Amino acid sequence: MQATCAPSNPVSARWRRLVYAVVKFSLDVVRGAVVRLLLLVIVAIGGSVALEAWFWFSRPPIVRGLSGGFIISGTPNSKEVYRERVRATFALPLTEVELIGKLEQQRFSIEGPTANSRRYALFKEGSFPCLISWGVNWHSDERGDVSSIEGFVGQSCL
């Protein structure tokens, strides 16, 4: 007896090829969507990190980390921490010329003198509707030596 193969059904073979093509197409579409979604997530995370880094490095070292950024939260009691940083960074004895040089290195703008003969420097930052001013004010004697120095923080919002 001879074994015979059943003749293949041409309709069912075409049907299988069609189903295979549809499934393959669907998987390709899903795979493409997943890849695009992953790329979008990577770009969003990278952009957030880059924005936080720009925000961090655009500030003077004495101010960094005190108020929050986009990802990193700020320091509790930031005003007192800032005052302590000012006293530590610009420790007396110090001449006014040295102080102004150090402040300009940190991108503070030099202002003053005020009505009570005190000078001050400001670094302003913020975006609508709020502005934060980080300041240093000082008094110097007739020889040009700084006799007192203190930090201050001001915030205003519309």
CA distance 115 to 84: 25
Look at residue 136 in the predicted model and tell me its pLDDT.
95
SS3 124: strand
Residues 58, 127 contacting (CB under 8 angstroms): no
Of the candidates 153, 83, 90, the one whose C-alpha atom is nearest the C-alpha of residue 122 is 153
Average pLDDT, the chain: 84
Look at residue 40 in the predicted model and tell me its pLDDT.
87
Element (H, E) at 42: helix 10-57
For residue 150, what pLDDT band results from cuts at 50, 70 and 90? very high
Tens of pLDDT along 9-47?
777 888 888 888 888 988 888 888 888 888 888 888 888
What type of residue is 47? G
Higher-confidence residue: 47 or 99?
99
Of the candidates 86, 92, 102, the one whose C-alpha atom is nearest the C-alpha of residue 148 is 92
CA distance 12 to 2: 26
Name the least confident of 50-54, 80-84, 116-120, 132-136. Answer: 50-54
Look at residue 71 in the predicted model and tell me its pLDDT.
52
Whole-number Cα distances in Å, 91 to 31, 75, 143: 61, 22, 18
For residue 73, what pLDDT band results from cuts at 50, 70 and 90? low
Q: Which residues contact 148 (CB under 8 A, 6 or more apart)?
A: 138, 139
**In the chain, where are the structural domains located?**
8-58, 62-157
Higher-confidence residue: 4 or 138?
138
Residues 79, 132 contacting (CB under 8 angstroms): no
- Residue 6: pLDDT over 60: no
